[in-house]
Amino acid sequence: METIAQSPKYNLNEEQEKKLILREYRSLLRSLKAKLKSGDKDKIRTAFEMAADAHKTMRRKSGEPYILHPIAVAKICVEEIGLGVRSTICSLLHDTVEDTDLTLQDIEREFGNEIARIVDGLTKISNIVDVNKSKQAENFKRIILTLTDDPRVILIKLADRLHNMRTLDSVKRENQLKISSETVYVYAPLAHRMGLYNIKTEMEDLAMKYLEPYTYREIVKKLAETKRERTRYINEFIKPLKEKLEKGNFDAEIYGRPKSIHSIWTKMKKKGVSFEEVYDLFAIRVIINSPPEKEKEDCWKIYSMITDEYSPLPERLRDWLSNTKSNGYEALHTTVMGPEGRWVEVQIRSRRMDEIAEKGLAAHWKYKEGTADESRFEKWFQQIREMITSQDTDSIDFLQDFKTSFLAEEIYVYTPKGDVKMLPVGSSALDFAFSIHSAIGVKTIGAKVNHKLVPISHKLRSGDQVEIITSNKQKPSEDWLGFVVTSKAKGRIRDALKEERRKVAEDGKYTLQRKLEGMNAAFSQINIDELVQWYKLQSPLDLFYQIAIKNIDLKELKEFKVLGDKLEAPKPAKPITEQKPEVYNKDQGLPKKDTELIIFGESSDKIVYNLANCCKPIPGDDVFGFVTTGKGLTIHRTNCPNAAKLLANYSHRVVKTKWAKNKEISFLTGLKIVGVDDVGVVNKITNLISGELKINISAITIEAKEGLFEGNIKLFVHDKDELDVLVQRLKDLPDVESVERYDAEIVP
* pLDDT winner (highest mean) among 224-238, 260-274, 396-410, 730-744: 224-238
pLDDT exceeding 90 applies to what percent of the chain? 9
Q: What pLDDT is attached to residue 172?
A: 83
Query: Where does the pLDDT of residue 73 fall: very low under 50, low under 70, confident under 90, or very high at 90 and above?
Result: very high
Which one of the listed residues 24, 40, 79, 98 is annotated catalytic?
98
Task: Kindly state the average pLDDT of the residues 666-678.
Answer: 83
Handedness of CA 662, 663, 669, 673 (dihedral sign): positive
Q: What pLDDT is attached to residue 72?
A: 92
In this structure, the answer to whether residues 364 and 321 fall within a common structural domain is yes
- The SS3 call for residue 258 is strand
In this structure, the answer to whether residues 354 and 287 fall within a common structural domain is yes
Q: What pLDDT is attached to residue 385?
A: 57
In this structure, the answer to whether residues 85 and 33 fall within a common structural domain is yes
554/69: higher pLDDT: 69
Q: What pLDDT is attached to residue 130?
A: 42
Query: Where does the pLDDT of residue 304 fall: very low under 50, low under 70, confident under 90, or very high at 90 and above?
Result: very high
Average pLDDT, the chain: 78
pLDDT exceeding 70 applies to what percent of the chain? 80
In this structure, the answer to whether residues 18 and 155 fall within a common structural domain is yes
Q: What pLDDT is attached to residue 747?
A: 39
Query: Where does the pLDDT of residue 173 fall: very low under 50, low under 70, confident under 90, or very high at 90 and above?
Result: confident
Q: What pLDDT is attached to residue 298?
A: 92
- Measured distance CA(519)–CA(561) in Å, rounded: 10
Let me know if residue 343 belongs to a domain.
yes
In this structure, the answer to whether residues 504 and 640 fall within a common structural domain is no
Task: Kindly state the average pLDDT of the residues 248-265.
Answer: 86
Nearest to 595 by CA among 619, 576, 559, 574: 619
Q: How is the chain split among helix, strand and coil, in percent rounded to 5? A: 50, 20, 30
Task: Please check the confidence at residue 139 and state whether its pLDDT lies above 70.
Answer: no
Q: What total number of domains does the chain contain?
A: 6
Task: Kindly state the average pLDDT of the residues 328-353.
Answer: 88
Let me know if residue 490 belongs to a domain.
no
Q: How many CA atoms lie within 13 A of 594 on its CB side?
A: 5
633/298: higher pLDDT: 298
The phi-psi region of residue 688 (left if phi > 0; otherwise alpha if psi is between -120 and 50; otherwise beta) is: alpha
Q: What is the pLDDT of residues 573-610, one digit of tens each?
A: 433 333 344 443 433 333 333 334 554 433 334 566 77
Domain's final residue, options 368, 395, 413: 368
- Measured distance CA(47)–CA(327) in Å, rounded: 31
Q: What pLDDT is attached to residue 744?
A: 45
Task: Please check the confidence at residue 26 and state whether its pLDDT lies above 60.
Answer: yes
- Measured distance CA(97)–CA(85) in Å, rounded: 20
Report CA-CA distances (Å) from 406 to 93, 156, 199.
29, 19, 18
* CATH code, 715: 3.30.70.260
Query: Where does the pLDDT of residue 411 fall: very low under 50, low under 70, confident under 90, or very high at 90 and above?
Result: confident
Q: What pLDDT is attached to residue 675?
A: 85
> Long-range contact list for 315-321, CB < 8 A, 24+ apart?
316/345, 321/295, 321/296
DSSP state of 735: T
- Measured distance CA(92)–CA(89) in Å, rounded: 5
Judge whether 250 and 241 are in contact, CB under 8 Å.
no
In this structure, the answer to whether residues 61 and 168 fall within a common structural domain is yes
Q: Looking at the chain, how many residues does it have?
A: 748
Domain's final residue, options 368, 387, 405: 368
What is the reported pTM?
0.62
Domain's final residue, options 529, 556, 583: 556
CB-based burial of residue 520 (10 Å sphere; 0-12 exposed, 13-18 middle, 19+ buried)?
exposed
The question of whether 99 is a catalytic residue gets the answer yes
Q: What pLDDT is attached to residue 381?
A: 60
Report CA-CA distances (Å) from 643 to 236, 264, 743.
42, 20, 12
Which one of the listed residues 24, 40, 79, 99 is annotated catalytic?
99
- Measured distance CA(623)–CA(619) in Å, rounded: 9
- Measured distance CA(611)–CA(107) in Å, rounded: 51
Let me know if residue 443 belongs to a domain.
yes
Task: Please check the confidence at residue 300 and state whether its pLDDT lies above 90.
Answer: yes
In this structure, the answer to whether residues 171 and 24 fall within a common structural domain is yes
Task: Please check the confidence at residue 560 and state whether its pLDDT lies above 50.
Answer: yes
Report CA-CA distances (Å) from 52 to 15, 61, 72, 617.
15, 17, 13, 47
Let me know if residue 564 belongs to a domain.
no
* CATH code, 88: 1.10.3210.10
508/404: higher pLDDT: 508
Task: Please check the confidence at residue 234 and state whether its pLDDT lies above 60.
Answer: yes
Return the H-helix or E-strand segment holding 233. helix 227-247
In this structure, the answer to whether residues 33 and 174 fall within a common structural domain is yes
Among the residue ranges 186-200, 351-365, 390-404, 478-492, the one predicted with the least confidence is: 390-404
Task: Kindly state the average pLDDT of the residues 406-428.
Answer: 78
Query: Where does the pLDDT of residue 240 fall: very low under 50, low under 70, confident under 90, or very high at 90 and above?
Result: very high
Let me know if residue 390 belongs to a domain.
yes
Task: Please check the confidence at residue 233 and state whether its pLDDT lies above 70.
Answer: yes
In this structure, the answer to whether residues 388 and 355 fall within a common structural domain is no
Q: What pLDDT is attached to residue 590?
A: 32
Give the residue numbers spanning the domain of 431. 376-484
Q: What pLDDT is attached to residue 545?
A: 84
Question: Cβ contacts of residue 300 below 8 Å, gap of 6+?
Answer: 321, 332
Give residue 547's Cα distance to chain centre.
40
* CATH code, 464: 3.10.20.30
3-state secondary structure 495-549: HHHHHHHHHHHHHHHHHHHHHHHHCCCCCCHHHHHHHHHHCCCCCHHHHHHHHHC
Which is it for strands 252-258 and 696-705: parallel, antiparallel or unpaired? Answer: unpaired
Q: What pLDDT is attached to residue 595?
A: 39
Q: What is the CA radius of gyration of the chain?
A: 30
Let me know if residue 519 belongs to a domain.
yes
Measured at the alpha carbon of residue 207, what is the angle toward residues 201 and 211, in degrees to the nearest 5? 140
Query: Where does the pLDDT of residue 408 fall: very low under 50, low under 70, confident under 90, or very high at 90 and above?
Result: low
Task: Kindly state the average pLDDT of the residues 457-481.
Answer: 86
In this structure, the answer to whether residues 89 and 117 fall within a common structural domain is yes
In this structure, the answer to whether residues 606 and 685 fall within a common structural domain is no
Q: What pLDDT is attached to residue 743?
A: 56
Q: What is the pLDDT of residues 625-647, one digit of tens each?
A: 887 766 677 888 887 878 877 77
Per-residue exposure over 12-51, b if at least 16 CB sit within 10 Å of its own CB, e if not = eeeeeeeeebeebbeebbebbeeeeeeebeebbeebbebb
Query: Where does the pLDDT of residue 103 fall: very low under 50, low under 70, confident under 90, or very high at 90 and above?
Result: confident
* CATH code, 283: 3.30.460.10
In this structure, the answer to whether residues 69 and 142 fall within a common structural domain is yes
Let me know if residue 574 belongs to a domain.
no
The question of whether 506 is a catalytic residue gets the answer no
- Measured distance CA(611)–CA(599) in Å, rounded: 14
Q: What pLDDT is attached to residue 97?
A: 80
Let me know if residue 104 belongs to a domain.
yes
